[in-house]
Amino acid sequence: MRKITQITAITVIMAFGFFSCAKPGCTDENSTNYNGEANEDDGTCAYRGDITFWCLPAVSTDLIALGHTMLRFELEGEIIDSIATEVFFSPTGECNTPGVKTIAMEELPYEYRYYKYRVRGNGFVTLYEDFIKLDANTCLGVKLE
């Protein structure tokens, strides 16, 4: 009888070990690559966020008067996008609306990331620069004044 109990115990332990194998993947539901079947986070979670640059109409008019007809948006030393100054203005700066420049940041490696941005005008003159913190799953508004 004792042998049967030992065999049963070993069988149960082996079965539990077989069915509870680690399934690596991203376990954060807030990530873009969440894996509901994963039970062990493997560090591959990726996130996204948006950065929206905007200004009021008076700022756009002043930039044009200074000869800056094109604005170039730079993150971490790399030009990401540009916009004609004459169409770059918004009363509210909401993400993805006319008159703003929204830049989608895909595949962020963490739930937030710091960026250094620059906005350059004609002749690549730096008009604005600062550091920002972009949180995942948000749209960060950067008002240029």
The CATH number of the domain where 76 resides is what? 2.60.40
Say whether pLDDT at 20 is over 90: no
pLDDT tens-place string over residues 86-113: 999 999 999 999 999 999 998 888 899 9
Query: Looking at the 3D structure of the chain, how many domains does it have?
Result: 2
Domain range holding 136? 47-143
- The pTM is what? 0.78
Decide if 61 contacts 107 (C-beta within 8 A): no
Assess whether 36 and 60 both reside in one domain: no
Assess whether 34 and 88 both reside in one domain: no
Pairing mode, strands 40-41 and 24-25:
parallel
Sorted by sequence, the CB contacts under 8 Å of residue 92 that are 6+ apart come out as: 54
**107: left (phi > 0), else alpha (psi -120 to 50), else beta?**
left
Assess whether 132 and 62 both reside in one domain: yes
Assess whether 25 and 72 both reside in one domain: no
Assess whether 51 and 35 both reside in one domain: no
pLDDT of the residue at 125? 97
Give the C-alpha separation, 51 to 101, whole Å. 8
pLDDT of the residue at 108? 85
